[in-house]
Amino acid sequence: MPAARGESGVVERARVAIVVGSDSDLPLMKEAYDLLTSWGVGCRVLVASAHRTPEDAVSFARGAREQGFEVVIACAGLAAHLPGVLAAHTTLPVIAVPRAAGSLGGLDALLSIVQMPPGVPVACVGLDAAKNAALLAASILAVNDAAVRERLESFRREQAAAVREKNARLAGWGMGPAGPGPGAPA
């Protein structure tokens, strides 16, 4: 995955780390990478297993802030220890993407992540919800970054417009509301 380029075409520094436990997670996590980089948010992707390369995972987490990262997105399935291992070794926000994999369909990964012990929080999005992880990372960055905040606000406006358009089509078929719906601008 190439480096993120801002509107000027200049490569942006990586602000979000996307860490996967296996290269089999890369096709899913490309959604997060593509969304963030399309908004000019630099990302770096790496494979680090909590079980097969625990020293690498810990080393990355301990040095993540010094490398300039502001948010970590970690994807893992089955036992899903990677997000918790990373969170135990950094004070950066860690967002977990549990994989819908294995004989339990991802329930094991989901429960492993949401049951972190007090004092080592990990944010958790839905199963295979890479896009939501990217949006949550963008929300965190948007606290202090007006450009990311504007892109996030624009994204939300576009989502709302798409829903209102669907309601307008339903109204045209005689099946939906006649007006724009609650909360819509007059």
Structure confidence by residue, pLDDT tens digits, 134-149: 999 999 999 999 999 9
pLDDT at 170: 86
Contact 41, 4 (CB under 8 A): yes
Catalogue the long-range contacts made by 168-172 (C-beta closer than 8 Å, 24 or more residues apart). none
pLDDT at 179: 55
User: pLDDT tens digits for 49-86?
Assistant: 999 999 999 999 999 999 999 999 999 988 899 999 99
Kindly state the helix (H) or strand (E) to which residue 17 belongs, with its residue range.
Answer: strand 14-20
pLDDT at 180: 57
Q: Which architecture, in CATH terms, is 14-142?
A: 3-Layer(aba) Sandwich (3.40)
pLDDT at 169: 87
Contact 136, 95 (CB under 8 A): yes
pLDDT at 47: 97
Across the beta sheet with 14-20, the strand order is 42-47, 14-20, 71-76, 94-98, 123-124
pLDDT at 6: 53
pLDDT at 177: 66
Residue numbers in the chain where pLDDT is lower than 50 = 11, 183-184
